[in-house]
Amino acid sequence: MSKQAVKMAAEPDPLERLHEDSVDLALSEPGIQQEIAQLAYEFWESRGRPDGSPEEDWFRAEREVQSRDSNGS
């Protein structure tokens, strides 16, 4: 593989980066943040309200909201 091919493979696709930025921006909107917080709380409650890492529930809620939004639901 040439050096140029290696360099090009290492650079992120601009369209992919734009999509990631759009998703990050969408997830930071106040209404979306509230929805994520509510869903994360529900996940935490369904796990029996354990002590520990709330990030697990938050990231799960983010993924679910992001997936739902990208599917047009």
Its domain, for residue 20, covers 13-70
Distance, CA of 44 to CA of 41 (rounded, Å): 5
Split into its structural domains, the chain has a count of: 1
Sign of the C-alpha dihedral, residues 6, 16, 25, 66?
negative
With respect to residue 5, please indicate whether it lies within any of the assigned structural domains: no
Distance, CA of 17 to CA of 30 (rounded, Å): 22
With respect to residue 2, please indicate whether it lies within any of the assigned structural domains: no
Q: Which amino acid, 21?
A: D
With respect to residue 25, please indicate whether it lies within any of the assigned structural domains: yes
Distance, CA of 22 to CA of 28 (rounded, Å): 10
Give phi and psi for 53, each to the nearest 5: -95, 100
Confidence label for 43 from pLDDT (cuts 50, 70 and 90): very high
With respect to residue 61, please indicate whether it lies within any of the assigned structural domains: yes
Which tens digits make up the pLDDT trace of 3-40? 555 555 566 665 555 445 555 656 778 889 999 999 99
With respect to residue 6, please indicate whether it lies within any of the assigned structural domains: no
User: Which has more confidence, 9 or 43?
Assistant: 43
With respect to residue 53, please indicate whether it lies within any of the assigned structural domains: yes
Q: What is the pTM of this model?
A: 0.59
